[in-house]
Amino acid sequence: DGGITQSPKYLFRKEGQNVTLSCEQNLNHDAMYWYRQDPGQGLRLIYYSQIVNDFQKGDIAEGYSVSREKKESFPLTVTSAQKNPTAFYLCASLGGANQPQHFGDGTRLSIL
């Protein structure tokens, strides 16, 4: 089945540590997105990529970094500069202008 796989499902970060969240899709979609979800705030866009080797900052990019070396993969690194990283992180992809975004099942990040 085609879809988006996020791993790990749960992740813990120590003080001063960078952690990387994985997002892989086999939908052959060009565009991919990372969102952060906090209770009562909906989803906020961190980064997005329309094509391989290109990505743009979203509304809350500070303290995060991404890469897009392959069409299928869009990993997100939460750096030590992100002082409040505890949240649910969702990856999505988009196949066409009139289509809905498809979402993975998320990674829940907590601070140790």
Partner 1 sequence: AQSVAQPEDQVNVAEGNPLTVKCTYSVSGNPYLFWYVQYPNRGLQFLLKYITGDNLVKGSYGFEAEFNKSQTSFHLKKPSALVSDSALYFCAVSPVGGSARQLTFGSGTQLTVLP
Which of 7, 18, 28, 56 touches partner 1 by CB under 8 A? 56
**Candidate ranges 12-20, 67-75, 76-84, 100-108; the one touching partner 1 (CB under 8 A):** 100-108
Which of 48, 72, 78, 109 touches partner 1 by CB under 8 A? 48
- Residue 42 binds partner 1 (CB under 8 A): yes
Give the 3-state DSSP-derived string for 42-73, with helices as H, strands as E and coil as C: CEEEEEEEEECCEEEECCCCCCEEECCCECCE
Tell how strand 10-13 and strand 107-111 pair up: parallel
User: Please, what is the end-to-end C-alpha distance for the chain in angstroms?
Assistant: 35
Q: Please state the closest distance from residue 103 (CB atom) to partner 1, in A.
A: 4
- Residue 105 binds partner 1 (CB under 8 A): yes
**Measured distance CA(33)–CA(102) in Å, rounded:** 10
Which residues contact partner 1 (rule: CB under 8 A)?
A: 4, 6, 31, 40-43, 45, 48, 50, 56, 58, 88, 90, 92, 94, 97-98, 100-106, 108
